[in-house]
Structure 1
């Protein structure tokens, strides 16, 4: 675990966007296409806004969320819709978005189809991911109904996940996929999350799911 601290959030956003752009360029020098996995939520918004304006061969980049709520893009809780507004604009609009939602009553109804879309793009080349104050990452929540399965070494690539306090079902990449990313960057902001990260580094993934990927991660932090 490599912790990089920034003096403020603006500098973090600009520097992290440059780090991610460099990582994607490096990957694209070695292969025809690169897989870029990203989190939902609003925290990475400034990073995405900066990154979206970088002139990369975005038409050779496949972008996927690390997890998604099981809601259509018309919902204000859709991470896919948020991603289209924050990252997939400007030059980055040329990237290919790999869906983690497909209209159906429940994620179980479309899981095989979604897995078929993700499988050819693994391992993830570059991943930006977040962490909650409860030490969850993606939709691997403490207390979630299928957390044990999601942390297992032989977990499927994707799992439906339901957790206390989560208003809708989720679909999430599982621990082997997340920890198998070739270049992992974890974004955290605020002292509460820094304290949670330090606790997570001393706990098993069953109690602190983010621990499943800390060993190989670079953590980017600002208050």
Structure 2
């Protein structure tokens, strides 16, 4: 793990956006298409606002959420809504979006179809993650039913989790898919999350799922 500290959040957003744009450009030099997995939540919004104007071949970039709440995409809780409204605009509107949601009641019913859309784009070219104060990443929550299966080396591409702390089921990329990304970045903000990260380094992934992806990752932090 490489930790990079920033003087403030605005500087972090600009620098991380420039870094991600550079990595996507480099990946496009080597491959016809690249995959870019990004989180929801409040943290990545300013990064998306800067990144969406990057001058690169967005029509060759496949963007997907790291995880998704099982809600309609027009819901305020939808990660897909955030991504399409904050990242897939400006020049980035030309990118291809791979949703992790379908119009069914039970996410398990469509996992094979969702996985089939993602499989051709693995390993992920570039991964951006956030981290919760409880040390969760994507929708890999400590103590959630099915966490062990999602952390396993032979886990499928996607898993359904139903954390007790959350109001709806979630679909998430599993630990092997996240950790297998060719480039991994984690953005954390505030003292609480910095302290959680330091604590996580001494815990196992079932207690601190972020540790499943820390090896080789760059963590970006601002207070």
Normalising by the residue count of structure 2, what TM-score does the alignment of the two structures yield? 0.99
Give, in whole Å, the separation in 2 of the partners of 1:207 and 1:90: 40
For residues 74 and 98 of structure 1, what CA distance do their matches in structure 2 show?
Answer: 16
Give the Å deviation of 1:188: 0.2
> Which residues in structure 2 correspond to 1:32-51 (within 5 Å)?
32-51=32-51
Uncovered stretches (5+) of structure 2, i.e. residues with no partner: none
Matches within 5 A, 1:116-127: 116-127=116-127
Map Cα deviations across residues 85-140 of structure 1 (whole Å, 9 max, x no partner). Answer: 11000000000000100110010011110010111100000000010000000000
Q: How far apart in 2 are the matches of 1:82 and 1:48? A: 9
The residue correspondences of 1:157-196 to structure 2 (distance < 5 A) are: 157-196=157-196
SS in 1 for 2:178: helix
1:174-195 deviations in Å (ceiling 9; x for gaps): 0000000000000000000000
Aligned-pair CA distance for 1:76: 1.2
> 2:111 maps to which residue?
111
Deviation string 1:130-189 (CA, Å, 9 cap, x unpaired) is 100000000000011100000000001001110011100000000000000000000000
CA distance in 2, matches of 1:213, 1:47: 21
What SS class does the counterpart of residue 10 from structure 2 fall into? helix
> Is structure 2 residue 89 aligned with structure 1 residue 76?
no
Report the Cα distance in structure 2 between the residues aligned to 1:36 and 1:75, rounded to whole angstroms. 23
Give the match for residue 66 of structure 1.
Answer: 66
Q: Which whole-Å CA distance do the structure 1 matches of 2:189 and 2:42 have between them?
A: 12
Task: Name the residue aligned to 2:219.
Answer: 219
- Root-mean-square deviation (CA, aligned residues, Å) is 0.5
Question: Which SS does the other structure have where 2:188 is aligned?
Answer: strand
Partner residue, 2:3: 3
Distance in 2 of aligned mates of 1:219 and 1:74: 31
Distance in 1, matches of 2:39 and 2:83, equals: 9
Equivalent residue for 1:148?
A: 148
Query: What is the TM-score of this pair, normalised by structure 1?
Result: 0.99
**How many corresponding residue pairs?**
223
Q: Distance in 2 between matches of 1:183 and 1:4?
A: 15
Once the two structures are superposed, residues 6-37 of structure 1 have per-residue CA deviations (whole angstroms, 9 ceiling, x without a partner) of 00000000000000000000100111111000
The structural deviation recorded for 1:203 is 0.7
Q: Aligned equivalents of 1:128 and 1:73: distance in 2?
A: 20
Query: Per-residue deviation at 1:210?
Result: 0.4
